[in-house]
Amino acid sequence: MAGLYDELLILLHGIWTRRWIALGVAWGVAMLGWLGVALIPNSYQSKARVYVNTQSLLEDKMGITQVQSQQDLDRVRSTLASTENLEKVVRETDLSQGVSGPRDVAAKITKLRDNINVMAQADPSMIDISAISADSSLSDGANARIAQQVVQKLIDIFQEDNLSGDRNQTKQSLAFLDQQVAGRGKQLEAADQRRIQFAQRYVGLLPGAGSISQRMDAARLEINNIDSQLIQAQSALGAMNGQLAGTPQSLPGVSASGGPSALGQAQANLAGMRARGWTANHPDVVAAQREIDALRKQGGGSAGGGGTPNPAYLSIKSMQAERAATVQALGARKAQIQADLNAMTAKQTEEPGLASEQEKLDRDYEVLKTQYDKLLSDREEIRLRGEVKTETGSVQFRVIMPPSTPTAPAAPNRPLLVLGVLILGIGAGVGVAFALGQLKGTFPTAARLERAIGLPVAGSIGHAVSMAQVAVDRQRMKWFAGASGALAGVCLLLIIVEFVQRGMA
């Protein structure tokens, strides 16, 4: 430990003996460093914070989700520093001074793009906008004013984009969709006209709706249904005929002599036979029928007189006529549909492409109709979204912190740099003095000489200092202290000047 302490003392002594060299180097480095710091232009920064809320309950109902709103916000934030917007900033602030042509504007835009920053906070609705002005050709006050103007102009552009950008975009989208809807409408009308003409030529021959094959299948199904109805109607008509045959036309009456008429009696006998289930071929039934026919020819039914019309016979006769009309109508309907079906089958045989042509017409019509309906839906949705954003004020814009007017440069930190240069100069002087001490071939102590030559040293002679020399050394010490103090004073003076300049700016 004693050896280390001795070595430290030797090093300090070597530096101290060369203190004037160290002080000179410190002065030189400090002056050069302070000159470099003075040449660094001041950068003034202005900051602002805005609040943008893009959420709305009504927008959610209209399908404008939070993700879409955030995308709109990101789009505005990314396009805020576009060339068009920066050109507005250059031309509408003090940056326009000294601009003589497009080349100067382009140069200022390039420099301005590097000096502005638009950043979102943890809350995406909060956006910080900052701008830096560091033009060495301008004064500190001008740089501070330009930084504030740039941020204010960016806020104005931000607000304009949110308030009018969506409205203009909605108008352009609606105009485009109107053109598309009109074009699709004409195409749809033409396709519908072709379907109508085709139906009038071919499909109208068959009833129903749908394609030719569908209508033909429907016609065949209807014929089958008519056949079933016709069988039932014919069966009902046959039953009516049988029942009518077994019902007398008139009821038995009373003759003039007080007995029943011969015709009425014969008819009653015949009805009784049939009621017992005898058929028309039964001998008694045949005989009774002949007797009735003979009496009718003789006029016995009327001369013998006294019979009245049978109401049951009249009712059954009416029902028989109704059943017969139904059978006739069903037969006529079946014949008509069968004829139309045969005609369409013949047309398909003559023109095999009818079905495919109709399918193509229907397919084209459905495709155009789907596109037309989709365009109408999109146009209505965009129109409603535009009204929602316009009427409900979907973008709530508020300046939380207005653009600040900088009173102190954001960079460089000149007082810290001045102090750092002083420390660097002192370190450089001490380093030079130390290096010179190591290079000079002297031995400050007898022990170091012994280690260097490897031989014992008998002794050493001290240095005697006279009173005159002591006085000279004191005077030099005062000069050294004054020079050192002057170096520190210059550093302090530069720091004071910097603060004064900040206050003036």
Q: Are 203 and 358 a contacting pair, CB within 8 Å?
A: yes
In a shared domain, residues 348 and 388: no
Residue 277, Ramachandran bin (φ over 0: left; ψ between -120 and 50: alpha; else beta)? left
pLDDT score, position 31? 93
pLDDT in tens, 220-252: 888 888 888 888 888 888 887 877 777 777 665
Residue range 123-152: mean pLDDT, rounded: 80
Among candidate residues 332, 366, 401, the one where a domain is terminated: 401
Residue range 294-300: mean pLDDT, rounded: 68
Provide the pLDDT confidence category of residue 108 given band limits of 50, 70 and 90: confident
**Residue 205 is assigned to a structural domain of this protein:** no
Task: Give 345 or 478, the one with higher predicted confidence.
Answer: 478
Pick the closest to residue 311 from 267, 248, 240 (CA basis): 248
Cα distance between residue 95 and residue 108, in whole Å: 8
Choice among 2-6, 146-150, 467-471, 485-489 with the minimum mean pLDDT:
2-6
| Mean of all residue pLDDT scores within the chain | 75
Q: Are 254 and 260 a contacting pair, CB within 8 Å?
A: yes
Task: Give 72 or 232, the one with higher predicted confidence.
Answer: 232
**Residue 194 is assigned to a structural domain of this protein:** no
Cα distance between residue 269 and residue 306, in whole Å: 17
In a shared domain, residues 228 and 346: yes
Provide the pLDDT confidence category of residue 444 given band limits of 50, 70 and 90: low
Q: Which of 126-135, 219-228, 413-422 has the highest mean pLDDT?
A: 413-422
Asked if pLDDT for residue 258 goes beyond 50, the answer is no
489 burial level (CB within 10 Å; 0-12, 13-18, 19+): exposed
Choice among 38-47, 122-131, 225-234 with the minimum mean pLDDT:
122-131
Asked if pLDDT for residue 468 goes beyond 70, the answer is yes
What's the domain range around 34? 2-40+412-504
pLDDT score, position 505? 57
**Residue 206 is assigned to a structural domain of this protein:** no
Residue 180 has which token pair?
């598309």
Parallel, antiparallel, or unpaired: how do β-strands 44-53 and 250-251 relate?
unpaired
Among candidate residues 341, 368, 401, the one where a domain is terminated: 401
| Other Cβ atoms closer than 10 A to 54 | 22
pLDDT score, position 93? 83
Q: Are 423 and 26 a contacting pair, CB within 8 Å?
A: no
Choice among 203-212, 342-351, 390-399 with the minimum mean pLDDT:
203-212
Choice among 153-157, 168-172, 419-423, 472-476 with the minimum mean pLDDT:
168-172
Choice among 51-60, 193-202, 354-363, 389-398 with the minimum mean pLDDT:
51-60
In a shared domain, residues 308 and 384: no
pLDDT score, position 115? 81
Q: Which of 98-112, 292-306, 352-366 has the highest mean pLDDT?
A: 98-112
Name the percent of the chain lying above pLDDT 90: 6
In a shared domain, residues 217 and 347: yes
In a shared domain, residues 218 and 346: yes
In a shared domain, residues 29 and 161: no
Provide the pLDDT confidence category of residue 28 given band limits of 50, 70 and 90: very high
Provide the pLDDT confidence category of residue 211 given band limits of 50, 70 and 90: low
CA 34 to chain centre: 57
In a shared domain, residues 62 and 93: yes
Cα distance between residue 448 and residue 211, in whole Å: 120
Residue 34, Ramachandran bin (φ over 0: left; ψ between -120 and 50: alpha; else beta)? alpha
Residue range 70-80: mean pLDDT, rounded: 61
Amino acid (one-letter) located at 258: G
In a shared domain, residues 134 and 83: yes
pLDDT score, position 76? 59
Choice among 54-68, 146-160, 441-455 with the minimum mean pLDDT:
54-68
Choice among 30-34, 365-369, 486-490 with the minimum mean pLDDT:
365-369
Cα distance between residue 421 and residue 423, in whole Å: 5
Pick the closest to residue 404 from 73, 184, 128 (CA basis): 128
**Residue 482 is assigned to a structural domain of this protein:** yes
**Residue 314 is assigned to a structural domain of this protein:** yes
Choice among 254-263, 357-366, 450-459 with the minimum mean pLDDT:
254-263
In a shared domain, residues 396 and 451: no
Task: Give 168 or 143, the one with higher predicted confidence.
Answer: 143
Rg (CA), the chain: 61
pLDDT score, position 285? 80
**Residue 119 is assigned to a structural domain of this protein:** yes
Asked if pLDDT for residue 159 goes beyond 80, the answer is no
Residue range 125-133: mean pLDDT, rounded: 81
In a shared domain, residues 250 and 326: yes
Among candidate residues 337, 353, 369, the one where a domain is terminated: 353
**Residue 185 is assigned to a structural domain of this protein:** no
In a shared domain, residues 222 and 344: yes
pLDDT score, position 30? 92
In a shared domain, residues 392 and 462: no
Asked if pLDDT for residue 44 goes beyond 60, the answer is yes
pLDDT score, position 378? 79
At 440, give phi and psi (nearest 5°): -75, 130
Pick the closest to residue 82 from 148, 160, 169 (CA basis): 160
Distance between start and end Cα atoms, the chain: 57
Q: Are 232 and 238 a contacting pair, CB within 8 Å?
A: no
Asked if pLDDT for residue 413 goes beyond 90, the answer is no
Q: How many domains does the chain have?
A: 3
**Residue 261 is assigned to a structural domain of this protein:** yes
Q: Are 79 and 58 a contacting pair, CB within 8 Å?
A: no
